[in-house]
Structure 1
Amino acid sequence: MSIIDPSDTVERQNEKLLQIAQSLMRRVEEKHDQSGLAYQQFERAAMLETQVRQRTQELERTLDLLQESNAQLEQANVATERARSNITEAIETINEGFALFDPDERLVLFNSRFCRDIADITDHLTEGMHFSDYVTLVSRSQHLALSKGETARDWATRRLARHSSDHVVFNVRLMWNRWLQISEHRTARGGTVILQTDVTDIMRLERQQRDRMLDQQAKILQATLDHLNQGVCIFDHHKKLVGWNKTMNGLLSLPPQRSVQGLTFSKLLSMLKSDLTFEGSFGHDSLENWANLRDRRQPIAFEITRNKVQTLSVFAQEMPDRGFVISFTDVTAERETARALSDMNETLERRVSQRTQALGEALAEAKRANASKSRFVAAASHDLLQPLSAAKLFMSSLSDQLDDAGAAVTLGKAENALQSVENIIAALLDISRLDAGKAVFDIRNVPLSAILKPLRDELTPVAAAKGLELTIMDCDLRVVSDPGYLRRILQNLIGNAIRYTQTGKVLVGVRRNGGSARVEVWDTGPGIAAHNRKTIFQEFARLDATSTNDGLGLGLAIVERAAKGLGHDLSLWSEVGQGSCFSINLKIAPPTDTPSHRRSDIQPSWEDALSGLIVMLVENDEQLANAMALMIENHGAEVLLAHSAQDAIDLLSEIQLTPDVMLLDYQLGSDADGVALLDDIRMHHGPVPAAIISADRSKGLQQDCTIRGLHLLAKPIDKEKLLGFLATVSEACT
């Protein structure tokens, strides 16, 4: 139990404590207790006095702080009131209506211009009003102009929906054609600021400008329509005529003074029904049904005849506002011209049919005659070749029995004459077969070297006998052709070049021409004039009849027919006095016939290239490592396989062997990579060729490999690239 009442003032408590202390002192003086009890009480009283003094000081400091806080609070209240006054004065200077709602949607502050144009609600605006109550108040105002069919609740719902946005600007229409622009913005603390601006003058000015622009556009549109040579009429979404041009008046005979503005489409169509005749299945009812469609109308086009004289092409199309436009084009002249052309075409078709029939009969007769000629030539050639062969044998036997040199020379000339006759008959037989379409071509892949080399050996002596230089360039290309006919074509072209060239040289070469090979035969002969370049391909055609050469006039005829049958393009360049060039274009054969052949060709080459090559493969993925090792060993190389960097180092240390090449996975685990392993191995075994295998396609790894001279193989591994790299290393080792 306390001897001091806490409810007493500090002064009263001090007074009581002093009285207690004095009383205790008196008792000490009055009593002399030998046990020391009085002294203990005195000591306790002194301690109490010290505590009282400390508490008194603390209370005094607390009072000072309280007085200081009250003074600061009073100053803050004055500053707050001054700031509020300044804010109120500031928003009053704003020309727009201003209002602030706090984060709880309560009205905090607004100026006198806020809702001034909605006078019947200004007296109801109070601080603390909820935003929804404010919207409801505005929606029920008599000054608010609602849209047709819109209720106050609808307007309030639409207004609250806009309130959900952080920033929104919209216009509100008031009575007497007045407008307010509402700008609503969310503050950083979640409150809402509303600005109201009277934009009536701006809206009226914009409407006036828009009306002027619409009037000007209407004038431009009318001038444009009048400028068209088509009749155009425009109907609105009520199907009433709202625009047309002068051409329409002329086409449909609508007098200019007659007012047709506002006529419905049905009324106008009825007025013109007696003058118009529809062509085909599309009629009057079809057009009216199209105009009355409630769904979207598809464009239509049709023709009508006016007064059975004028033909009009009509096109109708719907506009975005559900109105539609109809255009009329006078096509009378075009239709009359078309009818005249149709009559003329019928006449020409009859004539062409008659001429075609006559030409067909003549062509059939020519074919029969040509077939008869070919059969005759074939039969005659076959019958003549046998006795000629017998005569040649007899003369050959006779030449062995003659001792007279003059008779031997005469006999040799007779044999040459018989050989010439045999060549002529063989050429005629070839031409007859080609003309009759009975030539059988053996199309296959032909090495050009197999054609050109024998011809060089055969014709070089002939050219040398005339003092000419014959050069046939080697070529390793394979082409698609018939080897027998191709040899005959080139033999005739080269032989003709030698035959008609008196001095100089003959050059044969092959040029690549895209996917084909062009064999060219150049000579320094007399050249061929332009008007003779078709004649030379005819049978028995020889430009120089007085020439002493032994040309038969059939070689180029055979060349032209054989090239045509094989599908080879034959061309000629020539300059009189400079020489000529005959060329034939041949399709290059693919490298191999089938994929199986290609694999069989490649397999031995890899085995030969990789045979004996020692490859160290370091790959931590065992399945991938085993697959790569098996593939490499199947192509002739030996593989040293390791699954980690330490395994690779231990293996090389154990076998004391340096591999020819190393394939290193870039990521060999959490604490090792292929590049670091290669640096370690090269430090002990020298600059071993190597490639890094990695799925990492970053530029950093590529640059690192380039700097170190490493080949980078991307995962998944490309077999051909891997084997190609190993083959390159193997070739360098040898």
Structure 2
Amino acid sequence: MACTSTRPSPVSPLADLEGEAVVDLLARQAELERENRKLARINAALIERVESSGAGRDAPYAAFQHSVELAEQVRERTDALNQAMAELKGSNQLLSDARLRAETAHQHLVDAIESISDAFVLFDREQRIVLFNRRFKSLWSRTRARINAGTRLIDVRQLAESTGLIVEEHRGKGDEPTVYRLNNGRWVQVSERPTREGGLVILYTDITEVKVSETMRREQALAQKSRLLQRAVDNLSQGVAMVGAEGALELWNRRFLELCGLAPIEAHRPFEEVMAESELKLLTPNTRDGQDRPIRELEQRLFDGRMLEIRTHALPTGGFVNTFTDITERYRHAEALRESERWIRLITDHVPALIAYVSSDLTYEFTNKVYEQWYRWPSDGMLGQSLPEVHSGEHWRQLAPYIDRALSGENVSFEMS
């Protein structure tokens, strides 16, 4: 960053050239005046000689003629002197007009840069400050840095860092401008443009309102997403609790509170502290069993007889999500199936007949006790085995045709020796 004063610049090169012309004209005028005085003295001497001398008839005429010639030369030199004086007067007027135009142009430039809303600073080809406006100077008001005409660009940048003027920097990618956050909380965008003479123009545009507007829009978008996410989570049949990397509860739904038997809670409370108020066990990705193996899910029966399934899922950010599912109906259905299977097995085990259920891929799915004893297999040892594996080759060749008929839907009765 850089600064520059609005003081008038020195006389331009055009003014220097006009000054040299004036000097030449003055020198020429002085020379003509010297020659004029010399001719006047000569003329006076000749006239005096003619008047005092009486020798020769033609001498007075010759002297008079010579005097006339000298007078003509004096007149010519006088005319030249007058012309030089006129030229000098015109040059002085041109010089005065040029100086006035330069001063007017400089003042217009100063007024122009003071009227813009951006902080402005101009550097010459040696990267030294030539001009800056009050807005640029005001950027340094909270620092003790002194920025004046002649200060180098590298020194300005070093001062911006050493004085704490720049708090945060965001460099643009490619042709994008750099953005700074200043120590007064304002944001400025820096644009640099080279000049034809090899200098540099830097503009500092205050974009604080734009940044504030962007931040508000971003916060509103995040709030809207949070509301949508909360509504989506609240409509889940499962209880959901999301815990941050620091172990604090960040997101949950009403179902979570219902299943855990909790009253409404505040955000960012430690998850362990919240679960301590519930009858449910604490489950996290770090929970391990007695053999130091990680536990990712568990089932727990509540005091009112309901059965819950709790699962934990680690997040890439370091936190985790727990889900709580009411599996009471499923658990009761499974218990009913197990009870029904127990009665079926109790009955079939006491029937004096070999009973087996084989699926369409010829795999045993049920065998009674008599069947297992006949083939000398342990209890449930035949389950999952295939018919060709259990029966010998010759026995299977005799049995296969009847199996095919049964699988085609025909009731088959047969005897085998």
| TM score, norm. by length of structure 2 | 0.53
Aligned-residue Cα RMSD (Å) equals 5.5
The alpha-carbon distance between structure 1 residues 11 and 207, as it changes in their structure 2 partners (threshold 3 A), is closer
The residue number in structure 2 matching 1:181 is 188
Letter in 2 for 1:230: Q
Summarize the Cα distance change of 1:157–1:179 in structure 2 as closer, same or farther, 3 Å threshold. closer
Say whether the 8 Å CA contact 2:119–2:204 is kept in structure 1. Answer: yes
SS at match of 1:347: strand
- Does the Cα contact within 8 Å between 1:241 and 1:262 map onto a contact in 2? yes
Matched, 1:314 2:312: yes
How far apart, CA to CA, are the structure 1 residues paired with 2:286 and 2:37? 125
Q: After TM superposition, give the deviation of residue 108 of structure 1 in Å.
A: 3.7
Preserved contact between residue 188 and residue 207 of structure 2 (Cα < 8 Å): yes
Q: Cα offset for 1:359?
A: 8.2
Q: In the aligned structure 1, how far is the partner of 2:150 from the partner of 2:286? A: 73
Pick from 245, 249, 271 the counterpart of residue 237 of structure 1.
245
Name the SS for the 1:238 alignment partner: coil
| 1:261-660 to 2 correspondences below 5 Å | 261-267=267-273, 275=281, 284-285=287-288, 302-307=296-301, 310-319=308-317, 322-329=318-325, 333=330, 336=334, 346-347=365-366, 350=383, 353-354=386-387, 357=390, 360-361=393-394
Offset, 1:60: 6.4
**Could you say if the C-alpha distance between residues 171 and 275 of structure 1 is closer, same or farther in structure 2, counting changes exceeding 3 Å?**
closer
Closer, same or farther: CA 31–156 of 1 in aligned 2, 3 Å: farther
Q: Any conservation in 2 of the 1:98–1:195 contact (CA below 8 Å)?
A: yes
State whether residues 241 and 261 of structure 1, in contact with CA within 8 Å, keep that contact through their aligned partners in structure 2.
yes
Judging changes above 3 Å, is the alpha-carbon distance between structure 1 residues 217 and 362 closer, same or farther for their aligned structure 2 residues? same
Matched with 1:102 is 123
Equivalent pair of 1:314/1:327 in contact (CA under 8 Å): yes
In structure 2, C-alpha distance between the alignment counterparts of 1:277 and 1:113, rounded to whole Å: 60
Cα distance in 2 between the residues matched to 1:111 and 1:48:
65
Structure whose residues are more often helix by fraction: 1
Give the deviation of 1:82 after TM superposition. Answer: 1.8
Work out the CA distance in 2 between the residues paired with 1:354 and 1:162: 74
Which residues of 2 match residues 655-666 of structure 1 at below 5 A?
none
Amino acid at match of 2:95: L
Deviates more, 1:239-248 or 1:112-121: 112-121
Structure 1 stretches of 5 or more lacking a match? 1-5, 33-46, 140-150, 291-299, 367-734
Partner SS, residue 257 of structure 1: coil
Residue 306 of structure 1 deviates from its aligned partner by 1.8
Q: Does 1:216 align with 2:204?
A: no
Local SS of the residue matching 1:172: strand
* Mapped contact 2:261–2:278 kept (Cα < 8 A): no
Q: Is the 8 A contact 2:190 2:204 kept in 1?
A: yes
**C-alpha distance in 2 between matches for 1:76 and 1:167:** 41
Q: What is the TM-score with the length of structure 1 in the denominator? A: 0.33
Alignment counterpart, residue 168 of structure 1, candidates 177, 187, 190: 177
Matched residues in 2 for 1:283 and 1:129: separation? 61
Seen in structure 2, the aligned counterparts of structure 1 residues 20 and 260 have a Cα distance that, compared at 3 Å, is closer
Number of residues of Structure 1 aligned to a counterpart in Structure 2: 312
Q: Deviations over 1:461-496 (max 9, x none)?
A: xxxxxxxxxxxxxxxxxxxxxxxxxxxxxxxxxxxx
CA pair 11-239 structure 1, distance change in 2 beyond 3 A? same
Q: Sort the Cα spacing of 1:357 and 1:180 in 2 relative to 1 into closer, same or farther, 3 A.
A: closer
Take 2:218 and 2:181, find their aligned partners in 1: how far apart are those partners?
20
Q: Which runs of 5+ in 2 are unaligned?
A: 1-27, 57-68, 346-356, 358-363, 368-381, 400-417
Distance verdict in 2 for CA 1:87–1:153, change over 3 Å: closer
Give distance in 1, aligned partners of 2:164 and 2:295: 46
Bigger Rg, structure 1 or 2 = 1
Q: 2:96 aligns with which of 74, 83, 91?
A: 74
Return the alpha-carbon distance in structure 2 between the equivalents of residues 211 and 205 of structure 1.
10
Aligned 8 A contact 1:100 1:193 in 2: yes
- In the alignment, the residues of structure 1 paired with residue 298 and residue 146 of structure 2 have an alpha-carbon distance, to the nearest angstrom, of 71
Structure with larger RCO (C-alpha < 8 A, sep 6+): 2
TM-fit CA distance, 1:75? 1.0
8 A contact 1:235–1:265 mirrored in 2: yes
Q: Does 1:247 align with 2:243?
A: no
* CA drift at 1:52: 9.5
